[in-house]
């Protein structure tokens, strides 16, 4: 938690007066959003946030960050967490089932900064399953198509609710394990080409910078 806190606070320094900010989802962005709220109060910076989930919407509200939407404003900087980051700054996201809105907001930002603790850095994506958001009506046919691609899909089940996780968009999530992800871009495109798939959690070529919390300090990796 300490590494998530320092990296979240570091990212809050990147936001400038007047910015429209994409607000990511998860326990790392929690610290970012809280710190940003403090800057709004203490430094009186005028910013607006575009949340990527109900979680970040409620937290932004609570923290005093004015909210807007993508239909009204462009995003100057988006800050979001990740579940895995490879050396090319490709990501797996969706641990919080928010990857569809995250990809829309993060992908539209002029600058997309990822914040993680060092445990998220990997040599190759794929030691965790890839989250895939699916229209409920398409669940069975999508599962079958994924199995043909040699993925092992598992329907994400809810905790403290009977039945599956239902996303902020009213859909299900399949967590798909692959033996190996040779080419993340190809897999991202192939998964999204299955009718009924809303979005998957592979983010290739989107991150501009990754801030990594490592033993009390923050390291920065930029896309070349
Ligand atoms: C939510 C996400 C999160 O950003 C990702 O799961 C990282 O979360 P955390 O900061 O809690 O480790 O993609 O859909």
Residue ranges of the chain whose pLDDT lies below 70: none
pLDDT at residue number 1: 83
Q: Are 148 and 200 in contact (CB under 8 A)?
A: no
pLDDT at residue number 111: 98
Note the pTM of the prediction, 2 decimals.
0.97
CA dist., res. 108 & res. 89, Å (int)? 17
Phi, psi of 118 (to 5 degrees): -65, -20
Catalytic residue, chosen from 102, 133, 199, 209, is 102
- What's the gap in Å between 77 CA and the centre of ligand 1? 18
- What's the gap in Å between 224 CA and the centre of ligand 1? 24
Residue-wise pLDDT for 13-63, tens only, equals 999 999 999 999 999 999 999 999 999 999 999 999 999 999 999 999 999
Q: Is there an atom of ligand 1 within 6 Å of 26 CB?
A: yes
Direct distance between the N- and C-terminal alpha carbons of the chain, in angstroms, rounded to an integer: 29
Q: Is 102 annotated as catalytic? A: yes
Specify the 3-state DSSP secondary structure of 134.
strand
Fold of 2-121+204-218: Rossmann fold (3.40.50)
Tokens 């229209």, located at residue: 135
pLDDT at residue number 106: 98
- Outline which parts of the chain fall under CATH 3.30.70.260: 130-198
Q: Is there an atom of ligand 1 within 6 Å of 28 CB?
A: yes
Q: What architecture (CATH level 2) is domain 130-198?
A: 2-Layer Sandwich (3.30)
pLDDT at residue number 224: 80
- What's the gap in Å between 43 CA and the centre of ligand 1? 28
């Amino acid at each position: 938690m300490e590494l998530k806190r320092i990296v979240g606070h570091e990212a809050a320094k990147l936001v400038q007066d007047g910015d429209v900010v994409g607000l990511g989802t998860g326990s790392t962005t929690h610290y970012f959003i809280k710190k940003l709220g403090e800057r709004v109060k203490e430094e009186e910076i005028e910013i607006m946030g575009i949340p990527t989930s109900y979680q970040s919407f409620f937290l932004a509200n609570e923290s005093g960050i004015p909210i807007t939407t993508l239909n009204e404003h462009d995003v100057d900087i988006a800050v979001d967490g990740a579940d895995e980051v490879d050396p090319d700054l490709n990501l797996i996201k969706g641990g919080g089932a928010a990857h569809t809105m995250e990809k829309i907001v993060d992908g539209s930002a002029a600058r997309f900064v990822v914040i993680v603790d060092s445990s998220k850095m990997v040599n190759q994506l794929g030691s965790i399953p890839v989250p895939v958001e699916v229209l409920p009506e398409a669940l069975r046919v999508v599962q079958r198509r994924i199995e043909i691609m040699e993925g092992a899909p598992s329907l994400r089940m809810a905790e403290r609710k009977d039945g599956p996780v239902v996303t902020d968009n009213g859909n299900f999530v399949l967590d798909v394990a692959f033996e190996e992800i040779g080419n993340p871009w190809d897999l991202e495109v192939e998964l999204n080409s299955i009718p009924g798939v809303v979005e998957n959690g592979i983010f290739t070529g989107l991150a501009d910078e990754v801030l990594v919390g490592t033993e009390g300090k923050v390291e920065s990796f930029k896309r070349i």
